[in-house]
Amino acid sequence: MLQRIRRTFAEEQRPQYSFSTPTRQERSLLRTLRTRITTRVVALAAAAAVLIGLALLVLIVAVSGQRKAAETAFASQDAVSVANDLEKSLISIENALGRYVATRQEKYLVPVRSALRTYPKQQNELARLVSDDPGQQQRVRQIGGAIDDYADLWVRILIDIVRQDGFGKAADQIETDGGRSRLDPIRRNFARLFERERTVIREREDSAASMSQLAINFGIGGLGLVFILATGFTIYLRRSVVRPVLEVADATGRVAAGDLATRVPSDRVDELGDLARGFNSMADTLQRGRDELEYSNAELMRSNAELEQFASVTSHDLQAPLTTISMYAELLERRRAPEADGEGPDLVEGIREATQQARALIRDLLEYSRAGRGRLTLEEIPAAKIVDQALEALAGAIEQSGAHVTVGEMPTVLADRANLCRVIQNLVGNAVKFTGDKTPRVRIDAERDNGLWRFSVRDNGIGMKPEHTARIFEPFHRLHGEEEYPGTGIGLAVCQRIIDQHGGRIWVSSNPGQGSVFQFTLPAVEPPAERSQPNRGAPVRAKA
């Protein structure tokens, strides 16, 4: 019934959220649209690549054109050079032939024969160099034919006339200027060829310059385009991607700082929209979880308070009737003692012992319920004094058991005096109690452990199995029977509550027959240094 009431209450108190899961159609639409940012990025990259590629293509075409124009210009220059050489060869032939006939010296025939051998190669080279210009090819063919005629129908024949008819006849032919009349049209053709090639060179140079300018323009344009695209892309990424991501990151930080009400805009229908929706969903879940946790904590605290109140009230209220029963048992024992047949006193004793045991149990329960509940009164106190108080409180038990208790150097700690005394008292009391047949030997020490003081209470008692070392701090948990070792099993639970309240930790390490070492930590008191130092001057006290 109580649980049902609580569930109902929890459901009423549980916050309601407006976040709704997308339908299948919505998810499909989202999947379709999700690619928009990717598509846009890919489309932008592709467009940039195409534009840059086009710019590079035009650049390559321009550079190729420039190179081709330069090559053509070079070829034209070579053609002019070769044609020049060829024309000079012809002139040198004519001049040498004239000198040969005039002087009748064979030496002048040497360059003629040499030129006659070499001019076909020059002709072929010239034809190759103008092979890209049909008009020039035709002109070179005409020149070649005319040169062949000049060589065959004039030069060689004139030499033949010299050989057969003598220099006189040859001189007559020279006088007719037949060679010149053949060379003149050739030279006019050469002049036209030169003019054409120079025109080609000018055109190619202009073309190369134009291509070069085009290449430069496109290079600059391409760089500008790359800059504009990069800038635009950066701005786009910053606005469309980076900024939303930063908003989510900022919101994540706020959530991490505890502001679970933080949300980010999630109206986009792309990947970032998914991210925002995922973030908001996560924040919703976290907020819902925290609300539920807070609700559970509140419920738990309220339940604990009720239980503790119940235990406190119960134990307090039970004290009075038990006291009354105990008192009446004593009166009955006292009044009926003479008439008793021997059994009466034992029965009354039984009632009284049971009542005392119930009272002890209720007292311990009350102590446990109060332990850790009250406000701590922390003060810097020398641990040695607390230990002394505890040992004095246990003086009877120590003396009765013949225990030998030694105390090492104790520091000054920040603790609640009464509670710390109770812890020491419980631990030393246990050490004295669980001894078996041995004479108890107890050693109390304190060591610095980083920012803490670690206290230890070491005994040579009966010890315990390691698997029991955790459970003995549970309330009313006992490892031995009441007859063997009296007690309620609440002491260590109280110790744990007190140490927890101080922000420390308590644990035990033990083995059967080898004694136990109970340790707990307390925050150290920092400078002034002398206060945190152990009480070097304090003598080791021993209680026997």
Tell me which residues touch other proteins (CB under 8 A).
Answer: 149, 152-154, 156-158, 160-161, 165, 168-169, 171-178, 181
If the CB atoms of residues 177 and 392 are measured against other proteins, the closer one turns out to be 177
Three-state secondary-structure class, residue 407: strand
- Provide the minimum distance between the beta carbon of 180 and other proteins in the complex, in angstroms, as a whole number: 8
**Least CB distance to other proteins at residue 109 (A):** 17
- Between CA 173 and CA 180, with CA 176 as vertex, the angle to 5 degrees is 100
In the complex, least distance from residue 221 CB atom to other proteins, rounded to whole angstroms: 58
Peptide bond connecting 528 to the previous residue in cis, omega within 30 degrees of 0 = yes
Looking at the Cβ atoms of 175 and 267, the one nearer to other proteins is: 175
Residue type, 526: E
Cα–Cα dist 302/296, whole Å: 10
Which is closer to other proteins, CB of 144 or CB of 491? 144
Kindly state the smallest distance separating residue 120's Cβ from other proteins, in Å: 16
Cβ closest to other proteins, residue 168 vs residue 512: 168
Residue with smaller CB distance to other proteins, 149 or 206: 149
For the chain, report the end-to-end CA distance as a whole number of angstroms: 58
What's the min distance (Å) between Cβ of 156 and other proteins?
A: 7
Compute the least distance from the CB of residue 160 to other proteins, in Å.
Answer: 6
- Of the two residues 21 and 164, which places its CB atom closer to other proteins in the complex? 164
**Least gap, CB of 148 to other proteins (angstroms):** 9
Report the distance separating Cα 125 and Cα 144, nearest Å. 11
Cα–Cα distances in angstroms (integers) from residue 117 to residues 90, 511, 543, in the given order: 12, 122, 138
Written as six digits, the tokens of 91 are: 């002139």
Is 13 or 181 the residue whose CB approaches other proteins more closely?
181
- The whole-angstrom separation of Cα 35 and Cα 421 is 70
Q: In what order do the strands lie in the sheet with 516-523?
A: 506-510, 516-523, 452-458, 441-449, 404-407, 542-543
CB-nearer residue toward other proteins: 156 or 202: 156
Query: Which is nearer to other proteins, 183 or 462 (by Cβ)?
Result: 183
From the CB of 171, what's the least distance to other proteins, in Å? 8
In the complex, minimum distance from the CB of residue 177 to other proteins, in angstroms, rounded to a whole number:
5
Helices 109-129 & 134-150, crossing angle to 10 degrees? 160
Helices (H), 130-270: 134-150, 156-165, 167-175, 178-237, 243-256
CB count in 10 Å sphere of residue 118: 13
Note whether 447 and 456 are within 8 A (CB).
Answer: yes
Per-position DSSP letters for 298-347, written without gaps between them: HHHHHHHHHHHHHHHHHHHHHHHHHHHHHHHHHHHHHHSTTT--SSHHHH
How far apart are CB 191 and other proteins at their closest, in Å?
Answer: 20
Residue tagged 């420039």 (tokens): 66
Cα angle 421, 423, 428; round to 5: 95
Residue with smaller CB distance to other proteins, 159 or 498 = 159
Give the nearest distance from C-beta 154 to other proteins in angstroms.
7
Q: Cβ–Cβ contacts within 10 Å for residue 41, how many?
A: 15
117/536 with CB nearer other proteins:
117
Dmax (CA) of the chain: 197
Question: How many CA atoms lie within 13 Å of 479's alpha carbon, on the beta-carbon side?
Answer: 16
What Cα–Cα distance (Å) separates residue 190 from each residue in 111, 180, 200, 352, 538?
22, 14, 15, 151, 128
Sign of CA dihedral 225, 231, 234, 235: negative
Q: How far is the CB of 220 from other proteins (least distance, A)?
A: 59
Nearest CB to other proteins, comparing residues 10 and 153: 153
